[in-house]
Every structure is written in C-alpha cells, then in structure tokens.
Structure 1
Amino acid sequence: MSLLGPTLIVLATVAAMEFVAWSSHKYVMHGFGWAWHRDHHELHDKLLEKNDLYAVFGAGISIGMFAVGSPLVMGASAWWPGTWIGLGVLIYGVIYTLIHDGLVHQRYFRWVPKRGYAKRLVQAHKLHHATIGKEGGVSFGFVVARDPAALKRELKAQRQSGIAVLREAVED
C-alpha cells in the first residue's frame, strides 16, 4: 500500500482541525460551552481547568476514529481512513498542547519568544484574552495567528460598538 494516501489524509486532517478548533472555540466554548471554558479566561493557580475537558473530548474523537479504522475493533466493516484521520487529530492535539498550553500559557515550559511567528501566536492569543466574558473577542484559532495590529483594530471597534468589554484599552 502506498503511503501517499494516508499521508495526505493525516495532513488534511491536521489542517482541517485548525478550522474545527477555531469554530468550536468561537461558537461552542464562547457560546453554550462557556461553563467549561470560563476558568481558562480567569486568573487561578490550579493545575487543571474545566477547560481541559475539551482536550478529553478531542482525545475521544481521535480514539473513536482509530477504533473505526481498526479491523480488530470493527472487523470487516473497518473504514481504513479512520486510522489516519485519528492520527491527524492526535497530531493536532499535540501541536495544540505544545503551542497553546505550553508556549502561550506557559503551563509546561517557560519561553517568551522575542520575534517571529511564535511571538505572533503569543500576541494574538493575549489579544484573545483581552475581553472580559464570552462576548466579542478575536483570534479564536490556535495555530494560525493573524496580524496583531489588525486584531487590535477589531477589538477597538468591538469596544466602541459595545460588543466586547476589554480588560484594558487596546491601543493602535
């Protein structure tokens, strides 16, 4: 069997997961799932957050796809792409954990980037945390980070229109 198909499925899944993460962060976590996500936006000194339950949910999706793709679990009805989709979800989960929890929130290691894309990721996510509550906000993705200057302009416009309440004034 050629590795091209499985490799493309894994890569496509990793890429698609950023859209899944962005949309679930914006519409679920900052919507009806705010009860789990709220503590992520509040200062605390706990090791774990209710928000970490979303990672458990993501792991369940990955495990489920591995199961769907496994002949040991599904027998003759196994769907071979399931294994590779499960691997793509798993890889995205590792990337998310290293970037979001590790780099941005410093949960596992201490390193503050001074330049480059890593600095942009940190800046974009700090701007995401600039709002109070679940309303408004910018930068809902975890791996793709837009220009911080554009995000600041969006936050300023949200504040002026009453959509978002900011922790502090966002300057141009």
Structure 2
Amino acid sequence: MNYFIHTALVVGTFLLMEAVAWATHKYVMHGPLWSWHRSHHKKHPHALERNDLFALVFSAPSILLIVAGFELPEWAFLKYVGFGIMGYGLFYFVFHDIIVHRRIDIPYKAKNKYMKRIMKAHYVHHETHTKEDAEAFGFLYAPKKYEAKEDQTIRRKK
C-alpha cells in the first residue's frame, strides 16, 4: 500500500465517522442508552459523568483495528481505519469536551463562521433536556440555520 491510500483511508474514515457519530448520537444516545447520555444534558458538579463511558466504548474499535493492522500483515490497512477513528475521537474530545463544554478551562472564543455555527448547533442541542425532541446531532457539520448573526456572540456553556 502506498502513502496516498494510507492517507485516503485515514481521512476517509475520519469523515465517515461524522455520519457514524450523528446516527449513534441520535439513535443510540438519545435512544436505548439515554440512561448514560442523560448525565450530559444536566448540570452537575462532577468532573466525570456517566456519558463519559461512551468514550471507552467508542475507543475499543479503534484500538482493535490498529492492533489487528499491526499484528496481521495481510490486514495492515485496518490500522489506517483505526487511526481515522482515533483522529475523530481526538477531534471530538478537543472540540466537544474542551472548547464547547470547557471541561478543561481554556481561553477560547469562536471567531470564524464555521466554529460559531457548530458551537451554536451544539448549544441548541443542549437546550433539550429529554430523550426526545433534540436536534443538531453532528459534531463536524451543522446546517446554515445555526449560523450566528453578525452581532451574536456564542456564549460559553458548560
């Protein structure tokens, strides 16, 4: 395999993970596993929440694919798929947990339209505190309807 294919597998998997994350968020987190995800929609004084268990569950396929790709030469391409999943997980952690929810306090203010739009979409998602009636389930993409007005400041929410 060459570098182009390796890179295409990593980037393609990373991008495909947005669809996987959207569907999982909508149909699993706001579905049968709401009992875990509910903790993320309620204010609490704890550093961790039951919703954090999803990070452990979702890291397993990445780890297994990377290990399989290194251990089984005929399946070496799997490690690049695993790296794509891992990259999405890292992006999710930085964007969702650090930038949006400020679980690690950093001085960040959204300045470009893209960041303002995806942050606003996520804040709209959190205005719903129930399993049903939520919207905006993605993390990398948000429709234009979430675009902030010129004078609108994206509020910091925890």
TM band (smaller chain)? 0.7 to 0.9
1:121–1:144 CA contact under 8 A, matched in 2: yes
**Which of structures 1 and 2 has the bigger CA Rg?**
1
In structure 2, give the amino acid aligned to 1:18: E
Listed as ranges, the gaps of 5+ residues in structure 1 are 151-172
Displacement of 1:122 in angstroms is: 1.2
In structure 1, give the amino acid aligned to 2:53: L
Instruction: Give matches, 1:118-129, under 5 Å.
Output: 118-129=115-126
Structure number with higher relative contact order (C-alpha < 8 Å, ≥ 6 residues apart): 2
Moved more, 110-119 or 14-23: 110-119
Displacement of 1:61 in angstroms is: 1.1
Aligned residues: 146
What is the aligned partner in structure 1 of residue 66 from structure 2? Answer: 66
What is the aligned partner in structure 2 of residue 42 from structure 1? Answer: 42
Give the distance between the partners of 1:36 and 1:114, measured in 2 at CA. Answer: 33
1:99–1:143 CA contact under 8 A, matched in 2: no
Q: Given the superposition, is the C-alpha separation of residues 118 and 68 from structure 1 closer, same or farther in structure 2, using an over 3 Å criterion?
A: same
Stretches of 4+ aligned residues off by more than 6 angstroms: none
What is the aligned partner in structure 2 of residue 81 from structure 1? Answer: 77
1:18–1:143 CA contact under 8 A, matched in 2: yes
TM-score (norm 2): 0.86
Listed as ranges, the gaps of 5+ residues in structure 2 are 148-158
RMSD: 1.6
TM-score (norm 1): 0.79
Q: 1:136 aligns with which of 133, 141, 145?
A: 133
